[in-house]
Amino acid sequence: MSSKEVALNLREQNLALLSQYLPDLYQKMAAHIPQTQLVCNEDGDWDVVFRGEFLYGPGGRARLDAGIGQLRGTTKGRVSLGAPHSKNVDLSTGEFLFHFLKRATDEKFTFSMQPQVDDSYHFVSFGFGLGYHIEPIIKLSNCKSICIVEPNLDFLYHSLDVFDWKILFELSKENKIAVEVFYCSSSVDMAISARLHCRYTNPFALDSLLIFSAYPNDAMLAAMDIFRRDAQLITMGLGFFEDEMEMVRASYHNLLDGNFRFLRRCPVPISTPAFIVGSGPSVDADLDFLRKNQDRGIIFACGTAIRVLLANGIRPDFAVVLENGEAPANVFEEIGKVYGFKKIVFIGSNTVSTKFKKLFNDIILFFRYSLSSYPLFCPGHAYSLFDAGPTVTNTACAAAQALGFREYYFFGVDYGTRDPVRHHSRDSVYKIGGHEKKRRKGETALDLNDQFNIIDLANFGGLMRTHEIFAWSRDTMARIVGRMSAGSVVYNCSDGLLIAGAKPKVSTSIKLTSTPEAKNRDLALLVENCPRETQELFERKWKAQIWKYQVKKKVDEIKAAVSKTSILSGKFLETIYQQLFPDIKRMPRFEEFFIRGSVSAMAMGVDYYIRRVSKDEDRERFGVLAMEEFKKSLDEIVRRTEWYFDHIDELKTADDLETRLGDWRDA
């Protein structure tokens, strides 16, 4: 075993690069003392040895090269999306796909089931080792984003002597977060780190994402499985053009006449605990506890959980609603006829149905940072909630956090079920178990049996079933919990999914120190801290810009930008992302949020099919067709936006908007 000469200045060069692009990793490397040795193995390759065990070993480089070779011309190591379909997208994207594919069919283009090119926007490397695989895969994939998750700092440390990190950071010159390196040892942390990297560097460049394992490692193999399972979460929540129209419409009419409060962050810590109550099936086992202690905790009823509570003699303090459209308000209207909402304060997004203002005497509205109504109407950061979706349990917890609570208990926050037939509480608005009971007035039929296709860890041990939206919601809740202030404590009393940061606790073991007097005092403080609003805010904000012109300006910018790049490369998706997703140093603009969902979905459709053009010689001609249809659809978005803002006063409800969509074609 002999040592090869190490380039003396390579480590210094690499450390200088790390200090510039990855300062956190630089600090770790500068202080790290390795437990292993860098040596030259019998094949003449650099290797790492610990107690006689080699990282690569004899023939290791050859095996690594063979693994890289297997990535060429196959779907091995790739994440593949299903074909975009008009049933799974909004009207604008659906129309684009129809015209785009009809024209492609008319012009005799044919497509393969699998991608016909090796390009991959994202390259996720589970493990780095000494970096032997990095340059070959960059050349193979022509990637625009690289994520490395490494469970062993020694390997990163030794690579500084033998691998030129400059190869990695070529991508970072245009995009500072194009390359990220994470040091984490658990499979879950590795998978989440990789997923979030892809989400924040370009969420709609998922198709053909390339995954590679640098060396054998059980934790990394498990992380790869988790990453593949949850990869669809990367594209979740991008929104759609019509959804943004509805939310701006609702916000416009909710704020038009004043007569509401704004949720404002409370600077004073609240000592009374928050009971976050969802309508998951496990809440039924905790109703006795909630009934007995409803005067010692401030109860947040999450959406339809309000019926579960009222039906069992528990009157919540807050009714929390996130969902848009008229259906949620119609359900609440039926519940109110039976139980009434006296003394219950409503907390909802500024985008909910205006009908809620007639159902509750006290209305508190909040803003969501990720919606176009935020830059349009929000008076400031103190009135917004982060991670307020995708489900209303996230909303309630985010609201409680903003209001200053320090002690939290989750009930019925299941995000799944042990029995797919029993997906909600027996007293929820959802009919359970097929025909095992007659549907009562106000109930909604819901069959989720086929959707619970993900198996994950349960809060009190064992496994349970969930689906994509609930898995996304659980991850969001973990982020909310992770942002809790020092001294906060979160208990999960639900027999549902395990939530990182929330301590499992059965309700029978809870020992409260709060009092009814303290609850009443804190509740009054919370409500009074949320200021009443008037029409003045609406008038000032609405007249700040001619909003439809802002959308046209942004569309013109997108068209100009994509005209300067090739639609055949990842540069097209990169350009779309840069146009629609603002950098972290400024507040997003209205027009970016308003159109980004549908425009990004169209771009994903283009990318999906251009990868699958059967004949290489047809790909460039297909790219011309795709660019023409893409620009036509952008122009149609501008026309529809103009129609929308010209008619918004007439669109009193979500149903009005839906029934008048046809006006776009006649405008």
For 588-627, write each residue's pLDDT tens digit: 788 998 998 899 999 999 999 999 999 999 999 999 999 9
Same-domain pairing of 278 and 364: yes
Q: What's the mean pLDDT in 207-219?
A: 93
pLDDT at 432: 43
pLDDT-based confidence at residue 2 (cuts at 50, 70, 90): very low
pLDDT-based confidence at residue 177 (cuts at 50, 70, 90): low
pLDDT tens by residue, 313-326:
999 999 999 888 88
Same-domain pairing of 555 and 577: yes
The residue out of 504, 532, 560 marking a domain boundary is 532
Is 256 part of a structural domain of the chain? no
Question: pLDDT at residue 446 above 70?
Answer: no
Same-domain pairing of 576 and 460: no
The residue out of 480, 515, 532 marking a domain boundary is 532
Task: State the number of CA atoms in the 13 A half-sphere of 191 facing the CB.
Answer: 19
pLDDT at 198: 93
Nearest-angstrom CA–CA distance, 577 and 581 = 6
Is 240 part of a structural domain of the chain? no
Is 299 part of a structural domain of the chain? yes
Backbone angles phi, psi at 188, to 5 degrees: -65, -45
How many domains does the structure of the chain reveal?
3
> Coil, helix or strand for 38?
strand
The residue out of 506, 532, 558 marking a domain boundary is 532
Q: What is the CATH number of the domain that holds 54?
A: 3.40.50
Is 37 part of a structural domain of the chain? yes
Same-domain pairing of 551 and 511: no
Is 320 part of a structural domain of the chain? yes
Same-domain pairing of 309 and 367: yes
Structure tokens at 593: 């949020």
What pairs with residue 444 in β-bridges? 430
Contacts of residue 3, defined as CB under 8 A and 6 or more positions apart, other chains included, come to: 39, 40
Same-domain pairing of 329 and 446: yes
The DSSP result for 122-190, as a single string, is EEEEE--TTSTTHHHHHHHH--SEEEEEES-HHHHHHHHHHS-THHHHTGGGT-TTSEEEEE--SHHHH
pLDDT at 1: 39
Q: Please check whether residue 474 is in contact with residue 464, taking contact to mean a CB–CB distance below 8 angstroms.
A: no
Same-domain pairing of 266 and 334: yes
Task: Tell me: cis bond preceding 34? Omega within 30 of 0 counts.
Answer: no
**Residue range of the domain that includes 601:** 536-666
Same-domain pairing of 312 and 439: yes
Nearest-angstrom CA–CA distance, 627 and 104 = 12
Length of the chain equals 667
Per-residue three-class SS string for 592-632: HHHHHHHHHHHHHHHHHHHCCECCHHHHHHHHHHHHHHHHH
Give the strand pairing for 363-368 and 345-349. parallel
Is 84 part of a structural domain of the chain? no
What pairs with residue 48 in β-bridges? 38
Same-domain pairing of 464 and 479: yes
What type of residue sits at position 215? Y
Percent of the chain topping pLDDT 90? 53
pTM: 0.82
The DSSP result for 374-432, as a single string, is HHHH---GGGEESS--SSHHHHHHHHHHHTTB-EEEEES--SSBSSTT--S-TTSSEE-
Residue 591 backbone zone (phi > 0: left; psi -120 to 50: alpha; other: beta): alpha
Q: What's the mean pLDDT in 233-241?
A: 82
Is 546 part of a structural domain of the chain? yes
Q: Please check whether residue 336 is in contact with residue 357, taking contact to mean a CB–CB distance below 8 angstroms.
A: no
Contacts of residue 325, defined as CB under 8 A and 6 or more positions apart, other chains included, come to: 246, 353, 654
Same-domain pairing of 528 and 552: no
Same-domain pairing of 403 and 461: yes
Same-domain pairing of 280 and 325: yes
Is 111 part of a structural domain of the chain? no
